Amino acid sequence: MCSILSNILQRYEKPEAVKIKNPERVEELIKNMAADGPGALQMITDFDMTLTRFHQDGEKCDTCHGILHSSSLMSEEFKKRSQDLFNKYYPIEIDHTMTVEEKIPYMLKWYEESHETLTTFPFEKKHLTEMVKTSRILFRDGAVEMLEALNEKQVPVMVFSAGVGDILEEVLRKFNSYHSNTKVVSNSMEFNDEGRLIGFKGPLIHMFNKNEKAIRQSQPKYFENLSHRGNVLLLGDSLGDVDMVEGVMEPGAVIKIGFLNTKIEERLESFMNSFDIVLIDDQSMDFINLILTHVL
Ligand code: C5P
Ligand code: MG
């Protein structure tokens, strides 16, 4: 009997979009998470295409990098070069026939070439706010409310992204969602004294090294400080996102939720093997907010 899960599914608008390999296990995890309450919970979430929407009204939405590609403040030549890189490497990122090991060299090449492109063209720190303001980056429906509810109960949220930290922080501010419970682990831009981008600081975070090591380099004592919070809601849209939970100390009820945004048929099986719950083309946080009604 999966009573909490069926209650959630009954209240959820698109139950056919929810795929769960082992409903009994998920029922047990939600039950334990609910019994332990907000004091035992933490959230670890990816940013691009997880906190943010994949599409709206038939048009694809921006990612952190996409903001740069589409901004009127960037030159046409820069946009073309970045778009070419995206068209070349994104299909590899989501290719279901390649292993992660096979993909990594291409992903490293993508970051190397895109960082090089970015620093070749004039880019100034002062443009960030304007770029984000005019971009097509949107939070999933209910994401602002989710982050607000978690902050209200002082549940720590880590936003862990292989995108650009400076940009995603600006997006969180734009939606009034950069609360005191939130920590960001991502790539940081480096500017010179005149405010011009000269490169990136610190170790590179790419889509397949989002793990404990990357967190330790950015937030050394993060998981030690949260050792009493073994229950985790993990949100992601890429198979690489499941590793974000690796460093959690004394893990308890860990629920991994995957948003399957594109290449759905080809990737469904691998998503169901990696995530406890898979949400197919759902541009909202409704399902997660329903879980939270039982936990917070
Ligand atoms: O926040 P998240 O970890 O999802 O951000 C990483 C995403 O940014 C990748 O999934 C990739 O598709 C995208 N990306 C990009 N351009 C780059 C590097 C990454 O659009 N140069
Ligand atoms: Mg993502």
Q: For residue range 119-178, what is the model confidence (pLDDT) as tens digits?
A: 998 889 999 999 999 999 999 999 999 999 999 999 999 999 999 999 999 999 999 999
* Ligand 1 binding pocket includes 110 (Cβ within 6 Å): yes
Determine what percent of the chain is predicted with pLDDT higher than 70: 100
Position 236 confidence tier, pLDDT thresholds 50, 70, 90: very high
Task: Examine the predicted complex and report whether its ipTM is higher than 0.85.
Answer: yes
124 DSSP β-pair partners: 196
Q: Would the pLDDT of 1 be above 70?
A: no
pLDDT at res. 2: 73
Q: Which amino acid is at 161?
A: S
48 belongs to the catalytic site: yes
Distance 198 CA to ligand 2 centre (A): 25
pLDDT at res. 275: 98
What is the average pLDDT across 217-239?
95
Give phi and psi for 108, each to the nearest 5. Answer: -65, -40
Q: What is the DSSP letter of 241?
A: G
Give, for 166, the enclosing helix (H) or strand (E). helix 165-174
Distance 104 CA to ligand 1 centre (A): 13
Distance 227 CA to ligand 1 centre (A): 30
Q: For residue range 253-286, what is the model confidence (pLDDT) as tens digits?
A: 999 999 999 999 999 999 999 999 999 999 999 9
Task: Give the span between the Cα atoms of 55 and 137, in whole angstroms.
Answer: 9
Give phi and psi for 286, each to the nearest 5. Answer: -55, -45
Of residues 128, 93, 92, the one with CA closest to residue 237: 93
pLDDT at res. 69: 86
Of residues 49, 25, 19, 51, the one with CA closest to residue 265: 19
CB atoms within 10 A of CB 56: 13
* Ligand 1 binding pocket includes 138 (Cβ within 6 Å): no
What is the average pLDDT across 92-119?
95
CB atoms within 10 A of CB 188: 16
pLDDT at res. 70: 86
Task: Give the span between the Cα atoms of 242 and 89, in whole angstroms.
Answer: 21
- For 137, counting Cβ atoms within 10 Å of its Cβ (0-12 exposed, 13-18 middle, 19+ buried), the class is buried
* Ligand 1 binding pocket includes 187 (Cβ within 6 Å): no
187 DSSP β-pair partners: 164
What is the average pLDDT across 289-295?
98
Task: Give the span between the Cα atoms of 48 and 220, in whole angstroms.
Answer: 24
3-class SS at 228? coil
What is the distance in angstroms between the CA of the first residue and the CA of the last residue of the chain?
23
Of residues 213, 164, 214, 181, the one with CA closest to residue 47: 164
Q: For residue range 59-78, what is the model confidence (pLDDT) as tens digits?
A: 999 999 999 988 999 999 99
Determine what percent of the chain is predicted with pLDDT higher than 90: 96
Q: Which of 36, 46, 141, 276 is catalytic?
A: 46
241 belongs to the catalytic site: no
Q: What is the dihedral of CA 287, 290, 295, 296, to 10 degrees?
A: 110
- For 228, counting Cβ atoms within 10 Å of its Cβ (0-12 exposed, 13-18 middle, 19+ buried), the class is exposed
Q: Can you list the pairs that 210-213 forms with residues at least 24 positions away whose Cβ atoms lie under 8 Å? A: 210/46, 210/160, 210/162, 210/240, 210/241, 210/243, 210/244, 211/243, 211/244, 211/246, 211/247, 212/246, 212/247
Whether the Cβ atoms of residue 146 and residue 185 lie closer than 8 Å to each other: no
* Ligand 1 binding pocket includes 70 (Cβ within 6 Å): no
